Structure 1
């Protein structure tokens, strides 16, 4: 069961609410590497809208632009586990701003947030801050340039942030690496040579035996 705000819960029985989807994407400038943030929504016009930041839980006001550029968002599974979810976002291929975001800037692995908000149809004001529905990254970009009399578009395939848990750390447990994490920490100072140390136990001497698990731990 998903909890919603008291404002949304009170407004839902009227069955006259207007739904809107919001997309927040953080691309990178190819020249400087600086972050460029952009908000798009499924409506028309520029609007400042309140959203619940999925990372902090706080309410923020962000600016979203719309000329029917955000055409479709696939179903978003609402699950209580850490499985990696995939969501497809379809955008207008003929919109100049969309072209700029995806061609001029680097959108590969760009952080993405998707929200849904409800509007009062009489005032067209938000009933409550937009709820976050998806947090992840752009995994694949497909820009379809249509032939004559065919449909084009932009498809962003996004993976949820839980995919970060599937990545492997290429760093090794070494003294040099530990100094980058915590300068002055000597815990791994002898990790490269400790396997060659010889210890005397009574009349027997030799290298200290280590299990395969310990050997693997010193490598990754």
Structure 2
């Protein structure tokens, strides 16, 4: 796996090909928008029945990222569950997996718009977190040095399929969604264009992290 290593607000970070962000100096692994329990939430609200395996797949991928980096701290950057009902409905196996992944490290749940309240799954629950020059929160604001999620950006270049991507400029990072059933917003959408600087880059995830100028991404 090839990661994109870069400096952001005088801090060396790596946008990993798997969609996680790694701060090696602090041994912090950041992941956004897990949306655990999405299939359960859709079924509960009378929607299309989807195979209930996305939580297992998402946690397998998260476990692989944790095994690869051995973080001291994991930050889940909001919308970790598709709603509070999904958090309450998790299986014993899911609860056991989360307990095992949390063991021996700090685990921080940042509040999202889908899961605004605390969940009884261990770890620390916060609206946002400031660590050194960086601020971790769910939805981007105008603050310099912030790392956020929420928008599920996806980007594509000519001849390639659309992939979840990081958006990075001098002031902010917007993380890709990590959850297996999450959709996405075009990296060139007007909503994101209003947030990101014209010189921003997109880092496409996949087998390797591919940094490209955001303006070179297709508008789809």
Say which structure is richer in strand: 1
Same fold (TM > 0.5): no
Q: Which has the higher contact order (CA 8 A, sep 6+)?
A: 2
The structure with the larger Rg is 1
TM-score (norm 1): 0.21
